[in-house]
Amino acid sequence: MNSTKKKLLATTAALVAAGTAATVGAVAASAAAPEAGTKTTVKADAADGNLVQSAHLSVAAATKAAQAGLEAAAKEGQKVSVAVVDRNGNTIVTLRGDGAGPQSYASAEKKAFTAVSWNAPTSVLVGRLSQTPNLKDIPGTLFLPGGVPVQAKGAPVAGIGVAGAPSGDLDEKFARAGAAALGR
């Protein structure tokens, strides 16, 4: 790790101490409650220099986006499933649409994973396979249109995936509608 990055992280950590950490501490209050004050608790607080911060789509926002995707599809009479996956690859929200094909659920999840992994729509990523066909063998990925990234200041924070419409173009259209709901 070069020193420039180290400094940035240190700065970030200081900000954490002043700001976010209050929230985080509040979280701990409940999660740690059953152990608080016991002798068995580990005293292992990480020093600030050990931490990085990452932006994460809230579940409220992710649900809003997923519902917007589903509604966009419903308006065109399409049955789809929608998934939102965060930058760590963990699924935040899934919605299995009424009457959507059984293949759509896992498909939506994987499209979302793929879009957030490369910070690009899966419709674009499909094009990369002509150069590097085996990208599609990476676990968790699916190279079909219908996945779009959600960004914060240009960095990927989540992916939205839609599956089940008769064409990938439609799936992507609905995924974009979901992402658009986050810019308002």
Residue 174 in contact with its own copies, rule: CB under 8 A: no
Residue 169 in contact with its own copies, rule: CB under 8 A: no
Among 95, 161, 171, 173, contact with its own copies (rule: CB under 8 A): 95
Residue 68 in contact with its own copies, rule: CB under 8 A: no
What's the Cα-to-Cα distance from 97 to each of 41, 66, 68, 116, 146, rounded to whole Å?
45, 11, 12, 22, 15
In three-state secondary structure terms, 144 is coil
Q: Please tell me the distance from the alpha carbon of residue 10 to that of residue 40, in angstroms, as a whole number.
A: 31
DSSP 8-state assignment for residue 120: S
CB of 151 to its own copies, least distance (A): 5
Residue 69 in contact with its own copies, rule: CB under 8 A: no
Neighbour tally for 34: CB within 10 Å: 7
**Among residue numbers 20 through 59, which ones bind its own copies (CB under 8 A)?**
20-35, 38, 40-59
Among 69, 72, 114, 173, contact with its own copies (rule: CB under 8 A): 114
